[in-house]
Amino acid sequence: MTSTKIAFIGAGSVVFTQGLLADIFAFPELRNAHIALHDIDSERLTTAHGAARHIADRLTAEGNASEAAPGTGGLRTGTGPLITAHARRREALEGADFVINIVQVGMREATRTDFDVPARYGLRQTIGDTLGIGGIFRALRTFPLLKSLGEDIAEVCPDAWLLNYTNPMAMNVQYLARATGLTRVVGLCHSVYWTIRDLSDLLGVPHQEVTYQAAGVNHQAWVLRLEHQGADLYPRLDALVEQNPELRRRVRVDMYRRLGYYPTETSEHSSEYVPWYLHHDSEVERLRLPIGAYLGIVDENIAEYEGTRDALAAGTPLHVEGTMEYAPQIIHSITTGTPRTVYGNVPNHGLIDNLPATGTVEVPCLVDGSGVQPTRVGALPAQCAALNRGYLSMNDLVVRAALEDDPRSVRQAAMADPATAAALPVERIWDLCDDMVRAHGDLLQPGLRATLGH
């Protein structure tokens, strides 16, 4: 029986790769998988390869008994996984059943640009990876990679499922659908899962006993139903919010109180997708918003990577825990036929009635041996759909800019972005986009490198 082949694109995101591998190897049926690692950074690829070997040795049944697999450049741990490292992406993809994309184009330097240039215009961001100026330009520098990746998949592993973790999630999935024609694409994010875990902890109920439904768009979906043993938990949450003034100092709680449905992303993220918070000093203070927080996260990620690299060089054991991510669950369900429900980001196509058909929505998906099957939600509450439509309208302009090589659509997307429009007049928005184009340079497709002035 041929083992399942899983290709990691951007495997040099070593900490995330380790967590995913720990989840994969936790399933006995996947312990003989072929793990093909690819990254363009040779040091990071070597580190990822070493970390994968360590995890395989620790988590597979054969432990440390291993032997080289001739001709593969990889290592098979007894009857455990085959782990190979590839500088060439197409080699990693050859014959893959699943492709996990975790690439971050431009890494720390590009992310710092996404914050530093807008900050000179007085534009505040906290995370900058989904909407806003940061989200727009992260998408534009990621799209060329997605197009070439999609072309490679179509040629060397056309039946593979592409499981995308790279942000901005909704824009990337929409672009993949429009630019590559791939249909087996699902965007994955842990925000719904962890929102339910956090709410369960807050409410003092076991998360395994909570039933729920959420839907919307990535990082701005809504908990439509939250129940424990048949009882609605929202009245209980209302009482906690009323009793605890510190809870009311969270953006997502503030949005919940005003919109009636709890949003599925952190306050730092949520603050960037609406015009009400970041532009106002009083709201930044009231809601304790950490401006530029993501830069600290990036530095922490680099420190974790360097710690892993140094530990491997010293022969020090790595402490790796599972992450409960959706990709390993999807792989297991499709491979074994085990039914599960996960939350996925997919083209709308009638799943949510009052959102654009061409947009990417986040909905419950059934997974089994036949693949990933999104479920129809119907209509969202009107106020929730109104916010989501603005989000998707901006996404559509960014995707159009890339598909049509139209730099004006980039500026129009920034004009349509709620937080950017709240902070800057249109001339300054266009100037900012020009400066971002200059700063990112060759990371953008050639047709979008033009500066337009006012």
The set of catalytic residues is 190
Q: How far apart are CA 223 and CA 213, in angstroms?
A: 6
Provide the CB-side half-sphere exposure for 232 (13 A, CA).
8
Contact at 8 Å (CB) between 53 and 35?
no
Token output for 323: 């992450």
Tokens of 45: 């690829």
